[in-house]
Structure 1
């Protein structure tokens, strides 16, 4: 049993869910939400903060600031509380109430942006606000998850090697795309080791990460209205765009099997199951990365009136059926 003195010192790295009984496809789901931040974002947050400390950018007077749709904000809030910094999370109206309350409970502040920019959307508006804070006060330190190489390097050093150890015969990996830190870290790891692993990126309809048409997105997490600087598409073999109603159906199907996952996980699972259904599976193993858990989505994805109001009454019905 591990004994820790700081919350960032614990992360369950080797927990997987076999989705064949629930979805009828051979897919292992790597669960990244079992840490004190509740999501995979703890890895990137820790790597970025520790690099800033090593570089001398952070001191006792520093105020961390970052744009986040939610999960990275919670991770940075936890680290700030643990390390004695103050943190300001710049988010937008899509951020779940439970997430905002978690950030505030950890002693930090939340700034909510409500007006999108003409070209950058709400993400562009959040980044503009961060820049304004930094320009007004030199105590502010912006880690910039969208450009920071420590974002992808965290997964190059931890997430991808853990998958390779568990599944030496992996042939397909499904990774959700937001900042593309997880995607690029895993893709670079397997490419540089000459592993024949097909990298399939999963994005949300309405996101422009891979050149799609920008549209309204109501769920925080995956997707972006600004193309991530970290992305190098040469490492990506295929891309899947998932509509939000399909994300919700996947989340509900997982919940009905006893697994309460978050919206980002629902998107990845929906995309992966759809891809496997269309393409079949090779002789090796297919793995998908589950970035988050579902407690922060109880008032949205798992709230019937919220779902019906935005997507209609059939949005909670599952379209995927397990093999009999």
Structure 2
């Protein structure tokens, strides 16, 4: 029996979608990451019960950190994106977390820069705050060790390809790193939105929306670019089609980034049918009911979609592009400056 709901919320399920296509389905994936990070900080004395943990979030990590703080007896302060929705805001309030939400903005870079500036201002005012640095601190990798063990135990010695949103790098990158300890041939396929600097698509604008949570307009120190074999850039229209098909065909109700990853996973399985492909479903589809699933009649047949094959970061184009990244280093705009990785003041 679990001692806290965060354990149940963070535990993933493996669901077979098709022959050699597996869904690693989470209710809220970052709960694992946040809980393991907080437990580690407490065990090492970096924080103590009653301290306040601080970070920036577009929604999912905010909820995850609030649950971890609730479980371990800490306070939680979130500088939230303009995209944090009413359901998350309400849960944060009831859980006792303090949310500062940025004003409305259609510019993801402006939204993220505002959040970073606010974090630094808060740390200057009160150095006792502990900045979790979900985008930079490797402590957020720890939670995926148990997931790797689960995947390996369930799928045995099959040749694996892992597909999922890149995000802060602490999910796909960490999971692939743990899997490769026993299965070095595991391939990693990262999914990105257009407009993200992480893999060099910042010059391509998606007229609909940048898919929050899997890309960034600022560099993330947790992304280990050399771990990625392939990168897919997916626009809103293609991701919507993937999300709707995943629900219609397999009854898996998951977020927009999962729709993008599902498209990429099907494509990778087609290219290399001898491998088992595991696609990460990072969260449920509830926050996309109005923006994605209510528009299900706009979904294109996914068999009609195919990515543009490009070299490196040259020429990615809507609605979907793919490149053999082959462990290349970070592009210039994704390289993190030393000041971005400075650790917060701790005891």
- TM-score bin, normalised by smaller chain: 0.7 to 0.9
Task: State the distance in 2 between where 1:14 and 1:235 align.
Answer: 23
User: C-alpha deviations, 1:109-151, integer Å up to 9, x for none?
Assistant: 22122377x9954223212211211211234211111111121
**Does residue 192 of structure 1 match 2:186?**
no
- Change over 3 Å in CA distance of 1:180–1:186 after alignment to 2: same
CA contact (8 A) 2:193 2:210 kept: no
User: 1:10 aligns to what SS in structure 2?
Assistant: helix
Moved more, 73-82 or 209-218: 209-218
2:221 to 220, 224, 229: 229
CA contact (8 A) 1:41 1:72 kept: yes
TM-score, structure 1 normalization: 0.83
TM-score, structure 2 normalization: 0.78
Question: Once superposed, what is the RMSD of the aligned Cα atoms?
Answer: 2.6
The corresponding residue for 1:256 is 248
The corresponding residue for 1:28 is 22
Task: State the distance in 1 between where 2:181 and 2:14 align.
Answer: 25
Cα offset for 1:242? 0.9
Give the alignment of 1:114-263 within 5 angstroms. 114=103, 120-155=109-144, 157-167=145-155, 168-214=157-203, 215=205, 217-257=209-249, 258-263=251-256
User: 1:212 aligns to what SS in structure 2?
Assistant: coil
User: 1:94 aligns to what SS in structure 2?
Assistant: coil
The corresponding residue for 1:271 is 264
Moved more, 142-151 or 8-17: 8-17
Cα offset for 1:31? 0.8
- Change over 3 Å in CA distance of 1:115–1:261 after alignment to 2: closer
Unaligned runs of 5+ in 1: 34-38, 308-312
- Change over 3 Å in CA distance of 1:97–1:11 after alignment to 2: closer
Cα offset for 1:14? 6.0
**Does residue 319 of structure 1 match 2:302?**
yes
- Change over 3 Å in CA distance of 1:199–1:219 after alignment to 2: closer
Task: State the distance in 1 between where 2:154 and 2:89 align.
Answer: 35
User: 1:172 aligns to what SS in structure 2?
Assistant: strand
> How many residue pairs get matched?
299
The corresponding residue for 2:285 is 294
Task: State the distance in 1 between where 2:221 and 2:229 align.
Answer: 19
CA contact (8 A) 1:191 1:235 kept: no
CA contact (8 A) 1:209 1:224 kept: yes
User: C-alpha deviations, 1:211-246, integer Å up to 9, x for none?
Assistant: 222546444221111221122222111111111122
The corresponding residue for 2:56 is 67
**Does residue 8 of structure 1 match 2:6?**
yes
Task: State the distance in 2 between where 1:276 and 1:284 align.
Answer: 7
User: C-alpha deviations, 1:241-284, integer Å up to 9, x for none?
Assistant: 1111222222222222432111222221122223334x2x3323
Task: State the distance in 1 between where 2:75 and 2:92 align.
Answer: 11
The corresponding residue for 1:19 is 17
CA contact (8 A) 2:37 2:142 kept: no
CA contact (8 A) 1:70 1:220 kept: no
CA contact (8 A) 1:241 1:271 kept: no
